[in-house]
Copies of this chain bind each other. A is one copy, B any other.
């Protein structure tokens, strides 16, 4: 998905949010926003938003000296999610269609997001998503594809959300390769976050090799690209991965809550919608 003009103000919002979370003084905040303003003329219309998002967070890290500003927030999210885990498992166990409920659970975890301008209340939002109508639901294709799949790739999104992913992986009941970011970026999951969520017990964890908040293939490692190319079923979680992969001709299913208005518009759904969507060319 290409960058939209509406993303431009959002890059400033993201910088303000993360610098605010770090607690910078006025001078550093001004320096950060001036540097972000210098990115604007460099934005080519064909690039994907997480590529600029990555540069915004690099600016903040460089000017503050803080490499992982969401470290504590990520840990807290994982703890909150782990507290919900038993009830999520119960939901699945008591559902007439366990796989579909597990998909819902995985999407519900996608409310966790410090990169978008949407506040969340984990317990409450998860409950509401578990009963929310899907705006797009390619569940038939999903179930069929999964039944035949032998090399399943699961592209993670945020820390904490991994606990919800674990519920879906457990329901899939086949070997799964779980892909995290190489380095901390916003609250995206890295290996440590996946391990804290217990993913190590249900899947093989690898890194995509990128520190962008989305799997932008030109920034990924060769090792990841080989596994990605060989996969016959790919679950892509969240907005950042959708932005990076929406045009790909691969057997992809996007699971996400469309929190960002630009992404919602790109998909053609209302903001706040939940989706299980097969890639158009997939």
Contacts and interface: CB of A to CB of B under 8 A. Distances in A.
Q: For the complex, would chain A's binding face be called helix, strand, loop or mixed by DSSP majority?
A: helix
A34 interface: yes
Contacts of A12: 8-9, 12
B40 A33 contact: yes
Interface string A40-70: 1100010000000000000000000000000
A58 to B, nearest CB: 18
A29 B16 contact: no
A33 B8 contact: yes
Given A37-B37, A40-B37, A30 B9 contact: no
A26 interface: yes
A13 interface: yes
A9 B5 contact: no
A38 interface: yes
Contacts of A13: 9
Contact of A34 (B16, B33, B41): B41
A10 B5 CA distance: 13
B5 A33 contact: yes
Contacts of A36: 40
A117 to B, nearest CB: 10
Given A26-B45, A37-B37, A40-B34, A16 B6 contact: yes
A58 B227 CA distance: 52
A41 to B, nearest CB: 4
B5 A29 contact: yes
A34 B44 CA distance: 12
Interface string A231-271: 00000000000000000000000000000000000000000
A45 B30 CA distance: 9
A39 to B, nearest CB: 8
Nearest to A4: B16
Given A34-B40, A38-B37, A9 B10 contact: yes
A36 B36 CA distance: 12
Contacts of A5: 16, 29-30, 33
A272 to B, nearest CB: 17
Given A6-B16, A9-B16, A12-B8, A41 B45 contact: no
9 contacts: A5-B30, A5-B33, A8-B16, A8-B33, A8-B37, A9-B10, A9-B13, A30-B45, A36-B40
Given A8-B33, A30-B45, A34-B40, 8 more contacts: A5-B29, A8-B12, A8-B37, A9-B16, A12-B12, A33-B40, A34-B41, A38-B41
Interface of A: 5-6, 8-10, 12-13, 16, 26, 29-30, 33-34, 36-38, 40-41, 45
